[in-house]
């Protein structure tokens, strides 16, 4: 077995592989074209965040069996392309939790006490004690958006400083939050009540620019902002305006929309501090994830099990092709629900029609949870940890069996209730492999759950489709297909378009301004 390593990684990783007789070629910094030339001769690939494992590179990986990411995020790997080629993609979730939480606290304290600015002042020969008077953390309110592993560790540390902690998470139950000693509130409450706000969520359509112009306008005067999660969760342009107006007293970013950020005007503001994506950059974290990914690849090659896989289930070879298609469908429904929903999840109910689905309900429920949680959690979710994460968050999924139906012998239906709405999605599989979404809420559809979709609700009246289509045409976005659902003429309807290109945020906002159009969402499956 041969493994290629294309990013810098601690020696412990290569030592573990070599000890088991696995040949390792460490070539950090290799350009993409060079990787493509040699990747065909390797059985495994190990990367960190530097290497972009694109579909083009994966296409040349003739012998590749596994791609390992020494870290939590896999956004630099085309997981879909790897899955289609039968390549296992694995990561090391949890290895950098403490490091990221501590870095968040470091930035919070630096903001509160003007540490970088005052140091720079001393370097310039000044002694400005009065100018750099800070503020205490004690007695202040910290708002944590995202109470996954990192968010919870930050909250624990903040409480040790005497801070009052409030948190938002669409998954965590009030009971689980109470047991952890946090007050669970809405995002709006966090924005209005917090003296410091820190974000610990993945970057999704729901979290993109969640701290933007509207949020900053509603914040306390003098709020301080920290982001050690993903670039784009904080609207950088809106943040600069809020800093300039004084509404935001200080901001600290470890991540940016563009990395490296280049000539970003934020760096010219005296109340802004930053670090170059250092959240996971501690000796302990790097040693931990290097050791972990080395051990995981060894276990994989030696047939001792698969750990940390994000695109495979260890029982995959033990199920039929037809059931495997339903497992994929369940995961797609979970992902669709995660991207459609708004509000905090209160309950989930899954209905299974047909003996095949009823006999495999536990596997299907796990697949659904994986798909849903993967879009809502900061840390990656797989088939092994999805039920555990759901339990930790206080999420219960009830199952029921349906009687045989007239139209579909096998039908999977999942209903999710939040504090704002109720969403129901149904799906089936034709000819053992052709997945279809056949129902959303009370509307009938037949949608292939693949690629990019534009979803919106609208009043059923003439000209609606033409208005939206005209906006997409002006933006040079091609429509591959359209599916409409309505209850009665003139009533509420749902429109779903299959789109060839990603829809930029300004285009989505323009569609939202069309009279009679609402709930506009960009979906990626």
Listing DSSP states for 106-146 in one string gives: HHHHHHHHTHHHHHHHHHTT---TTTT----STTPEEEEE-
Residue 250 near residue 273 (C-beta atoms within 8 A): yes
- Residue 245's H or E segment, with its range, is helix 236-245
Distance CA 314, CA 40 (A): 25
Tokens 């789109």 belong to: 499
For residue 175, indicate whether it is catalytic.
Answer: no
Distance CA 473, CA 452 (A): 16
Q: Dump strand ranges (E) for 313-391.
A: 345-353
For residue 103, indicate whether it is catalytic.
Answer: no
Spell 352-367 as b/e; 16+ CB within 10 A means b: bbbebbbebbebbbbb
Catalytic residue among 48, 230, 324, 353: 230
Sheet holding 248-253, edge to edge: 183-184, 164-168, 141-145, 196-199, 223-227, 248-253, 272-274
Q: Angle 467-473-477 (CA atoms, 0-180°, nearest 5)? A: 120
Catalytic residue among 69, 277, 324, 353: 277
Report which DSSP code applies to 217: H
Q: Dump strand ranges (E) for 203-245.
A: 223-227
SS3 of 52-109: the string is CECHHHHHCCCCCCEEEECCCCCCCECHHHHHHCCCEEECCCCCCHHHHHHHHHHHHH
- Give 190-193's long-range contacts (Cβ < 8 A, gap of 24+): 190/143, 190/144, 190/145, 190/166, 191/143, 191/215, 191/218, 191/219, 192/218, 192/219, 192/220, 193/141, 193/143, 193/166, 193/220
Catalytic residue among 175, 259, 362, 434: 259
Residue closest to 509 by CA, chosen among 450, 456, 452: 456
For residue 259, indicate whether it is catalytic.
Answer: yes
Tokens 């979404």 belong to: 437
- Catalytic site positions: 230, 259, 277
């Amino acid at each position: 077995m041969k493994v290629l390593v294309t990013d810098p990684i601690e020696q412990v990783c290569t030592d573990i592989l070599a000890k088991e007789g696995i040949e390792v070629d460490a070539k950090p910094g290799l350009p993409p074209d060079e990787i493509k030339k040699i990747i065909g001769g390797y059985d495994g690939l190990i990367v960190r965040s530097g290497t972009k494992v694109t579909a083009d590179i994966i296409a040349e990986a003739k012998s590749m069996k596994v791609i390992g990411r020494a870290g939590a995020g896999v956004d630099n790997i085309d997981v879909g392309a790897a899955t289609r080629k039968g390549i296992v993609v694995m990561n090391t979730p949890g290895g950098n939790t403490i490091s990221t939480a501590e870095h968040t606290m470091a930035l919070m304290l630096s903001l509160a006490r003007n540490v970088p600015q005052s140091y720079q002042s001393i370097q310039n020969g000044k002694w400005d004690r009065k100018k750099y008077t800070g503020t205490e953390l004690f007695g202040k309110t910290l708002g944590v958006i995202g109470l996954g592993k990192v968010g919870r560790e930050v909250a624990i540390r903040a409480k040790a400083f005497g801070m009052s902690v409030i948190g938002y998470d669409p998954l965590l139950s009030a009971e689980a939050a109470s047991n952890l000693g946090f007050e669970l509130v809405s995002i709006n409450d966090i924005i209005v009540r917090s003296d410091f706000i820190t974000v610990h969520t993945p970057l999704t359509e729901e979290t993109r620019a969640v701290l933007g112009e509207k949020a900053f306008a509603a914040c306390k005067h003098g709020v301080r902002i920290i982001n050690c999660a993903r670039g784009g969760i904080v609207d950088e342009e809106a943040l600069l305006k809020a800093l300039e107006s004084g509404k935001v007293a200080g901001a600290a970013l470890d991540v940016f929309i563009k990395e490296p950020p280049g000539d970003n005007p934020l760096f010219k503001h005296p109340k802004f501090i930053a670090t170059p994506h250092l959240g996971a950059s501690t000796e302990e974290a790097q040693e931990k994830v290097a050791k972990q990914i080395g051990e995981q690849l060894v276990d994989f090659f030696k047939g001792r099990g698969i750990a940390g896989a994000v695109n495979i289930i260890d029982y995959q070879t033990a199920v039929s092709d037809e059931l495997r298609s339903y497992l994929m469908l369940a995961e797609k429904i979970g992902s669709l629900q995660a991207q459609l929903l708004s509000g905090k999840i209160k309950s989930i109910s899954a209905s299974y029609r047909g003996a095949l689905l009823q006999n495999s309900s536990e596997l299907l429920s796990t697949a659904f949870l994986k798909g849903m949680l993967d879009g809502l959690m900061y840390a990656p979710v797989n088939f092994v940890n999805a039920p555990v994460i759901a339990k930790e968050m206080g999420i219960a999924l009830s199952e029921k069996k349906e009687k045989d139906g007239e139209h579909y012998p096998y039908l999977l239906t999942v209903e999710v209730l939040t504090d704002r709405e109720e969403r129901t999605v149904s799906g089936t599989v034709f000819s053992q492999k052709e997945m279809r979404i056949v129902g959303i809420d009370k509307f009938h559809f037949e949608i292939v759950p693949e690629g990019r979709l534009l979803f919106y609700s609208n009043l059923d009246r003439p000209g609606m489709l033409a208005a939206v289509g005209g906006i997409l045409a002006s933006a040079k976005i091609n429509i591959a297909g359209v599916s409409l659902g309505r209850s009665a003429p003139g009533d509420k309807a749902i429109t779903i378009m299959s789109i060839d290109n990603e829809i930029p945020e300004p285009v989505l906002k323009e569609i939202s301004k069309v009279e009679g159009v609402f709930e506009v969402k960009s979906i990626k499956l």
